Amino acid sequence: MAGATCGSQRGRNIDGVPDSVYWKLYFAARKLPWDPQTVDLSRECADWERIRREFPAEDYAGQVLQLCTFFYDGEESVTYTLTPYLSAAARLGLGADLQLFLTSQLAEEARHFEFFRRYFAEVLPDANPRMPLPPEPRSVLVDGLQDIADRLRKEDEPGQLRELLVEGVAHYMGVVESMLARTGYRGVGEVLAARGWLPGLQEGFRLIRRDEGRHVAFGIHFLKDIASPHPPLRKIALDTFERYLPAALATVQLFDFPRPLFPIEMLVQYAMDAGQQFLAAAALTDEAVELTELERDLAEL
């Protein structure tokens, strides 16, 4: 029934789902599918071989491999820990539109993890992506997300559950996706593009980063709607950022190699800017910041 716009349905979509920002983000996700199995990886093996051969002292290959390992573990972790957010949103009655979006995000996180699984299997078969992460990325990307997911699962009291969901969204969409994931995909994607290296990895990064833009936008709108108007909830979101900020920055600093492929000052700046932009856009701080980077990605929606 393309084009049907009967008056009684204006402003609503399927079966009473409100035409909200969450619905728009869900709809954008549905319009922009991609298949990790069809990203062209045919040039990757030759590129890795050349990078290892031409830059042995710099160990550029080792630096990109560390990054891919962090992303593999991070995408696996966010895939496994998102379901309790969906359940909590349903139990709190936050709306079908919000649940629809989180459902699309869950499918996308699985797709990101699938991309890295395929990449390691086909391009880096001798590497082990399951090497234990250093303590800082482990605490923010894995253990911390597992902890809040467990608490969300167990909580039944609505007021407590709402507080936990605010904490979880600040951690997951704010610290992990906004400060770390998007910073990594952006900064490293730019460096690889400038050198013309690893086009398959570049393409995967581009597609994942576009998805992450929607996830971050969801977190901003959620905290603006739910946490910003209520000082105790606002404090929980800000405290969560403060608690994980040292581990997030220490994770970025792990790319401070003697001869870094990725300028460390640039990565730290990207991460700090992303955090400030997220908090300001969610009306959790009074800072006036420009959202050009996120807006550029979301303009693709």
Q: Phi first, then psi: what are they for 173, rounded to 5°?
A: -80, -30
Q: Taking CB under 5 A as the criterion, which residues in 148-187 touch Fe ion?
A: 177
Among 111, 112, 171, 234, binds Fe ion (CB under 5 A): 112
Measured CA to CA, the distance from residue 70 to residue 220 in angstroms comes to 24
Stretch that binds Fe ion, among 54-62, 91-99, 211-219, 261-269 (CB under 5 A): 211-219
212 binds Fe ion (CB under 5 A): yes
136 binds Fe ion (CB under 5 A): no
Stretch that binds Fe ion, among 64-72, 141-149, 212-220, 268-276 (CB under 5 A): 212-220
Stretch that binds Fe ion, among 130-138, 205-213, 225-233, 245-253 (CB under 5 A): 205-213
Closer to Fe ion at the Cβ: 51 or 275?
275
215 binds Fe ion (CB under 5 A): yes
Closer to Fe ion at the Cβ: 167 or 177?
177
Binding mask 75-104 for Fe ion (x = CB under 5 A): x-----------------------------
Closer to Fe ion at the Cβ: 171 or 215?
215
Measured CA to CA, the distance from residue 274 to residue 219 in angstroms comes to 13
Closer to Fe ion at the Cβ: 47 or 219?
219
Q: How far is the CB of 42 from Fe ion (least distance, A)?
A: 24
Task: Give me the residues that bind Fe ion (CB under 5 A), please.
Answer: 75, 109, 112, 177, 212, 215
